[in-house]
Amino acid sequence: MAFQQSDLDQLRAALSTGIRSVTFADGRRTEYQNAGDLVAAIDMVEKSIAGEARAGRPRRRMTILQVGRRR
């Protein structure tokens, strides 16, 4: 499931105001039992967004060739 920055913003706003129900950008609505569950959801969404950002970045590689003989 792909999360958006707006989903993370909604979760943080809910935590700061004490609201336990969050509606995400795709229309899903989730109600959390307590603040601990909300914090866990925030951590999960942050990791998901960070993982997507890393996946899009190409990896740089360098190849070193030595020509000639070693003595």
Q: What distance in Å separates the CA atoms of residue 3 and residue 71, rounded to the nearest whole number?
A: 57
Residue 47 forms part of a structural domain: yes
Residue 62 forms part of a structural domain: no
What is the domain count for the chain?
Answer: 1
Residue 60 forms part of a structural domain: no
Q: What is the pLDDT of residues 13-66, one digit of tens each?
A: 999 999 999 999 889 999 999 999 999 999 999 999 888 766 666 667 788 777
Residue 63 forms part of a structural domain: no
Residue 65 forms part of a structural domain: no
- pTM above the 0.95 mark? no
Residue 32 forms part of a structural domain: yes
Q: What is the pLDDT of residues 41-54, one digit of tens each?
A: 999 999 998 887 66
Sequence-distant (6+) residues with CB within 8 A of 23 are 10, 29
